[in-house]
Amino acid sequence: MDKIVINGGRKLKGKVKISGAKNSALPILFASLLTDEPCIITNVPNLADINTTIAFLNFIGKKAQLNKDTVKILPFKNYNHIAPYDLVRKMRASVLVMGPLLARLKKVDVSLPGGCAIGARPIDIHLEAFKKLGVKIKVSGGYVKMSAPNGLIGAKINFRFPSVGATENIMLAAVLAKGKTIISNAAKEPEIEDLANCLNSMGAKISGAGTKTITITGVETLKGTRHKVIPDRIEAATYLIAAAITKGDICLESVCPKHIKIIIEKLKKAGLSIKEEKDKIYVKWVKDLKPQNISTDVYPKFPTDVQAQWTALMAVTNGKSGVKENVFENRFMHIPELKRFGADLAINGRTVNIKGVKELSGAPVMVSDLRAGAALVLASLAANGESIIARIYHLDRGYEFLEKKFKQLGADIKRIK
């Protein structure tokens, strides 16, 4: 199993290009199941989850291939309505196959999902919403078996929680449903807007994406499209924090500043120098940072996917701070690993109490989930001495060319087999 070795203590300097958003690319790739015409999706990151999705599309019946940052998806043969365990276990986003296949085939059997172990993340919000669209559901043998023999019927759906995955799944289903679907308490993330823009370019009728109410008027068929995926806001936030934690000076390119407004605001309050342009962010450490409390919540508030990285930064920021996790109930698995570097952290329920230390020391650590892995990389970059990070396959799910990008910024980082 591969590991990453980092000799820390170097200030990061230079330019880094932010990749396309994985969490946007995945539902958009699944949207190709809604048409029999070719789809070309650009600015797609080369990641394990993307490769799993491409394998998924090929298994279902498409002909999909990634070339550099472009996925070309062609019609190939009759669709398979079964999403097997061997594919679904690798990636939670596999459940996004439900919406398109119910819309096209009126049935789908999906293995219960896998993915990062950061909480229960149930799919019952998805299933409750599908029932409103007229879907019959049965759970048997580790599979969710779903059917809509009379086709999908538009409905009013009110989510009890603004789930991103459930919002995407219902959008993917409702675009071909009969009549109008209104989603209340919908997720408002930029990735939802990106999916809606892609679907609309295919001929869908979606309005309100990016707000708490999304209206979808079903159409009979969708056409092919060419669509460019938005930049990855979580990757961008990670590199901003990398500049802060290493006292560096970085320019982020191909980025959308408005998508990470709250991260930028928090870093500015901490004392970082940040200048924004249309698709660039200049970030520079100019003085000792001040501790800042954060509380995670759904977009546009502080993202749970940046909580671990922020914790790593506050661990070396003089003073006391607190990090409260409101989205996932089991997202502090990085805390024991950060403490191995010498961080002074204490978990109290859903809050981590932090006392900033002067410096961290390199240590062998283990990744528990994708964003926890990012926090360990950041801590390793800041720490004195050598750190060895194990179980980095989690990182390969969400950060494109991680070692290459950090090396370009001056980090002493390498992957070993």
Q: What is the pLDDT of residue 112?
A: 77
pLDDT digits (tens, 9 = 90+) for 356-372: 999 999 999 999 999 99
Calculated CA dihedral for residues 184, 187, 190, 194, nearest 10 degrees: -60
* Residue-level pLDDT at 111: 86
CA 20 – CA 69 distance, rounded (Å): 9
Residue spans per domain, the chain? 3-19+231-416, 22-228
Lowest mean pLDDT among 73-82, 94-103, 219-228, 229-238: 73-82
Average pLDDT over the chain reads 95
Select the more confidently predicted residue: 91 or 326.
Answer: 326
Fold match flag (3-19+231-416 vs 22-228): yes
Q: Which CATH superfamily is domain 3-19+231-416 in?
A: Enolpyruvate transferase domain (3.65.10.10)
Query: What is the widest separation between alpha-carbon atoms in the chain?
Result: 65
Q: Model confidence at 121, in pLDDT bands (50, 70, 90)?
A: low
* Residues above pLDDT 90, as percent of the chain: 89
Report the pLDDT averaged over residues 376-383: 98
Query: Do residues 371 and 234 lie in contact, with contact meaning Cβ atoms separated by under 8 Å?
Result: yes
Per CATH, the homologous superfamily of domain 22-228 is Enolpyruvate transferase domain (3.65.10.10)
Alpha-carbon distance 296 to 331, whole Å?
Answer: 11
Question: What is the per-residue pLDDT for 120?
Answer: 47
pLDDT digits (tens, 9 = 90+) for 283-335: 999 999 999 999 999 999 999 999 999 999 999 999 999 999 999 877 899 99
pLDDT at 314: 98
Predicted local distance difference test score (pLDDT) of residue 331: 86
Give the pLDDT confidence score for residue 213 in this predicted structure.
98
Choosing from 39, 116, 198, 256, which is the catalytic residue? 116
116 flagged as catalytic: yes
Residue 113's pLDDT is 66
Of 290, 233, 284, 287, the closest CA to residue 260 belongs to 233
pTM: 0.95
